[in-house]
Amino acid sequence: MTSIGYLAGFETLDTETPGVELAWQGTPPAWLNGALLRTGPAKFEAGATAYRHWFDGLAMLHRFAFAGGKVRYANRFLQSGDYRDTVKHNAIARDEFATNRAGLLGSLFATRLTGNSSDNGNVNVLPYGEHDMVALTETPYPVRIDAKTLETLGPFAWADRLDCQVTTAHPHYDATRQLIYNFEISFGRKTLYRFTRMAPGSHSRSVVAEIETSEPAYTHSFGMSERHLILAEFPLVTKPLRLLLSGRPFIETYRWSPERGVRFTVIDKETGAIVRRAEAGPCFSFHHVNAYEEDGAIVLDLVAFKDARIIDALYLAGLRAGNALPEGLLTRFAIPLGEGPVTQKVLSSLTTELPRINYRRLAGRRHRYVWSAGAASGGFLDCLVKQDVETAKPATWSEKDCFPGEPVFAEAPNAGAEDEGVLLSVVLDGEKGRSFLLVLDAATMQERARAYAPHVIPFGFHGNYFANAA
Ligand code: CO
């Protein structure tokens, strides 16, 4: 049983820091010049109302900037419409993933009809072109931010006429085609899954493929190989009418239907044609790791849970009670592009989440290393993991009472090996009651340096490192 020194990571942080130099312990590599930008929930109550789920909290941006051997930290709430309304009314003003506005029947879909939908970008932060750094949640309302000052600039305005209610905060970037791909669901009398593409700098998506469905699956991310987009429909499904009329929070309209199994749909990026449909036994996943084509099959890695109870486990009440996370394992599927059954194997027996690869080099191509946060002691995420997918044994970093978040890979300049670089992870030190930025050698998993922030940084989800952006 781990200590529950991590509970501070689920408490509201009110303090905003305009920018403060932190002290390094140890020495980061001299080439580390740039910024780590992250987002995550940081406000869990408003007046007498409280959010119910980790995914609901209001977004705060965090920035660690590296220049000339020094590191500066700043944090600021995302001034989303959601945040401003909630602060103004001192009560939860918009429906979230698992929390509805007090006293109102509604759902994400219903609120969409009244133009009041969440733009609480607490899931990911990435560029939609050179001039648009955006904070994302799972609605089609990206919020533009100033990557240097963390100022909120306003909504990212779509120039196209595509209508959807949910999307993913994990778009893919295809560096060869120079296109951003994403996945959306448009609910209605006819509900559509839709893959889109968009050139960076453009505000117009175009349709790659649309697939009709009567029972849309909850979809947090999707797969991308060099030639294909891969939808994995896990059997956690809703019905548009239930979404509209049940009055339940968005995710609570979804039902676990294991008899459906997992349904893979492989789509040609160029033509939008469905290349293969295939099924496997039931499981649930938030995060695809990577996908690539080999020997006539799509090899697809993701973090698989036996069922969707991980969503239930992430309600704040359970997290604050110290409940353990369900087992989630790095799992590899092989989907033949021709005939033949899908095969799957577990790549590691260590429970893991928030996986990352050397994305710049290997998105859509064969990777060897996966870095993630792991739960080695059966409690919350308490270690960082490097998984060599060619061996079963993971290499880990951990420290007593320390709880790391997503490890973001920063590649060394002119790197040779795939793992030549560092991992950047925000770690809660439960004993000191503060968080620190940890710099690990990504190859050896040995610590290079750390720098303590002035406070606890609530557990966040995702972020990215931008070289030469300090
Ligand atoms: Co995610």
**Paired strand residues for 361:** none
Looking at residue 4, its pLDDT comes to 66
Is the pLDDT higher at 468 or at 44?
Answer: 44
- pLDDT confidence of 244, banded at 50, 70, 90? confident
315-359 confidence digits (pLDDT tens): 999 999 999 899 999 999 999 999 999 999 999 999 999 999 999
Model's pTM, two decimal places? 0.96
Q: Each residue of 74-99: pLDDT tens digit?
A: 999 999 999 999 999 999 988 899 99
Rounded to the nearest whole angstrom, what is the distance from the C-alpha of residue 25 to the centroid of ligand 1?
Answer: 30
Select the CATH number that applies to the domain covering 4-467 from these four: 3.90.25, 3.30.1540, 3.30.70, 2.130.10. 2.130.10
Distance from the alpha carbon of residue 459 to the mean position of ligand 1, in angstroms: 13
Distance CA 177, CA 227 (A): 10
2 band by pLDDT with thresholds 50, 70 and 90: very low
CA of 375 to the centre of ligand 1 (A): 17
In sequence order, what are the residues at sequence separation of 6 or more whose Cβ sits closer than 8 angstroms to the Cβ of residue 104? Answer: none
Residue ranges per structural domain of the chain: 4-467
Q: What pLDDT score does 468 carry?
A: 83
Ligand 1 centre to CA of 110 (Å) is 24
Residue 131 has a pLDDT of 87
pLDDT tens across 424-444, in order?
A: 999 999 999 999 999 999 999
Ligand 1 mean position to 141 CA, how many Å? 16
pLDDT above 70 (res 310): yes
Q: How confident is the model at residue 111 (pLDDT cuts 50, 70, 90)?
A: low
In this predicted structure, the answer to whether residue 421 has a pLDDT above a threshold of 90 is yes
DSSP lists the bridge partners of residue 320 as none
pLDDT of residue 1: 42
Distance from C-alpha of 193 to C-alpha of 211, rounded to nearest angstrom: 5
| Mean pLDDT, rounded, for 171-188 | 97
| Separation of CA 287 and ligand 1 centre (Å) | 6
In sequence order, the 6+-apart residues with CB closer than 8 A to the CB of 60 are 13, 39, 40, 41, 42, 43, 75, 76, 77, 78, 122, 458, 460
Residue 169 CA to ligand 1 centre (angstroms): 7
**Residue 5's pLDDT band (cuts 50, 70, 90):** confident
Q: How far is the CA of 461 from the centre of ligand 1 (A)?
A: 6
For the ranges 103-112, 354-363, 390-399, 409-418, the lowest mean pLDDT is seen at 103-112
- Ligand 1 centroid to Cα of residue 188, in Å, is 25
Q: What does the alpha-carbon distance between residue 210 and residue 246 come to, in Å, rounded to a whole number?
A: 26
Under the banding of pLDDT at 50, 70 and 90, the label for residue 104 is low
